[in-house]
């Protein structure tokens, strides 16, 4: 083999290695879902669109007579609120079909969380995260609605109404408690999420979405390009990608050495 041909082989192999590295990096990057920065007290919801947070679920417009009680779009996002790189807060955004949203006395917006992801939202271990925009209060109740787990009085820091939008959120650590002493991070894996506008005086739903799974926070999940939400790739998944890269690189390096000897 001539010197020029050997150099050409090495150049092509190096290009292939760089391409493989880039592909592996993209795999890891895609697998890592995003943690967002959300404020529920700034009189704005623009950070949801500016950060490209995707719509979680849509609901038909006009299926409720009163527009400002008619859900049309919903969003769910995880946030790293203490700077440690781990999602620790769940935030919700709901757009209704008219403004101001839920302006009637007693109306509340509810995010119903199927914490054990067993296709039911009415168990004691499930959670109702309830925001009252007129009184600016937030409450967490058990899925059956009987036990208050957490409550924020008037002037609470976890919710706001901005025109036709309702935005509220809660640290995951506040979802525990109640009749059970759930650990920090409870209700943060793969969970079902359902939204509803509710007449809080009669506890009857006005408009509600169908339950849909959301990949929660604080929990490692398998690499999935088509189904990932606010959770990072698992350590095992990243390690697998890295190991695969080392194996490929090692194999190609061996080929290079073999060809150099030839």
pLDDT tens, residue by residue, 184-237: 567 777 889 999 999 999 999 999 999 998 887 765 432 222 222 232 222 233
Residue with the two structure tokens 């935005």: 167
pLDDT at 53: 95
Q: Within 13 Å, how many C-alpha atoms sit on residue 134's CB side? A: 12
What is the model's pLDDT at position 149? 83
Task: Name the residue with tokens 């919700």.
Answer: 92
Residue among 74, 71, 76, 75 at smallest CA distance from 102: 71
The answer to whether 163 and 102 have CB atoms below 8 angstroms apart is no
Place of tokens 């946030």: 79
Q: Is residue 181 classed exposed, middle or buried when 0-12, 13-18 and 19+ CB atoms within 10 A define those classes?
A: exposed
pTM, two decimal places:
0.71
Q: 212: which strand partners?
A: 193
**Per-residue pLDDT at 18:** 52
- What pLDDT, on a 0 to 100 scale, did the predictor assign at position 184? 59
Q: Which residues of the chain have pLDDT under 50?
A: 17, 20-21, 23-33, 220-258, 262
119, 193 in Cβ contact below 8 A?
no
| DSSP state at residue 221 | B
Output the pLDDT for position 25: 43
Question: How far is residue 177's CA from residue 195's CA, in Å, rounded to a whole number?
Answer: 22
Residue 92: which of 142, 134, 36 has the closest Cα?
A: 36
Omega within 30 of 0 (cis) for the link into 154? no
Helices 3-31 & 235-261, crossing angle to 10 degrees? 180
């Amino acid at each position: 083999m001539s010197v020029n041909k050997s150099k050409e082989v090495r150049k092509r192999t190096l290009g292939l290695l760089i391409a493989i590295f880039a592909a592996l990096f993209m795999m890891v990057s895609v697998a890592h879902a995003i943690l967002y920065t959300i404020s529920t007290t700034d009189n704005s919801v623009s950070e949801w669109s500016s950060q490209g947070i995707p719509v979680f679920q849509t609901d038909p417009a006009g299926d409720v007579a009163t527009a400002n009680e008619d859900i049309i779009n919903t969003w769910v996002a995880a946030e790293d609120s203490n700077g440690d790189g781990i999602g620790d807060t769940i935030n919700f955004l709901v757009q209704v079909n008219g403004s101001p949203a839920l302006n009637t006395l007693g109306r509340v917006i509810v995010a119903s969380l199927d914490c054990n992801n067993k296709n039911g939202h009415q168990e004691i271990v499930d959670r109702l995260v309830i925001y009252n925009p007129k009184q600016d209060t937030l409450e967490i109740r058990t899925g059956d609605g009987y036990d208050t787990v957490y409550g924020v009085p008037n002037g609470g820091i976890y919710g706001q109404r901005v025109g036709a939008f309702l935005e509220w959120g809660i640290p995951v650590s506040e979802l525990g408690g109640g009749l059970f002493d759930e650990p920090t991070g409870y209700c943060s894996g793969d969970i079902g999420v359902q939204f509803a506008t509710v007449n809080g005086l009669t506890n009857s739903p006005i408009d509600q979405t169908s339950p849909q799974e959301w990949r929660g926070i604080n929990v490692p999940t398998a690499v999935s390009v088509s189904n990932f939400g606010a959770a990072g790739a698992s350590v095992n998944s990243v390690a697998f990608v890295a190991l695969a890269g080392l194996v490929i690189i090692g194999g190609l390096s061996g080929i290079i050495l073999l060809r150099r000897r030839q």
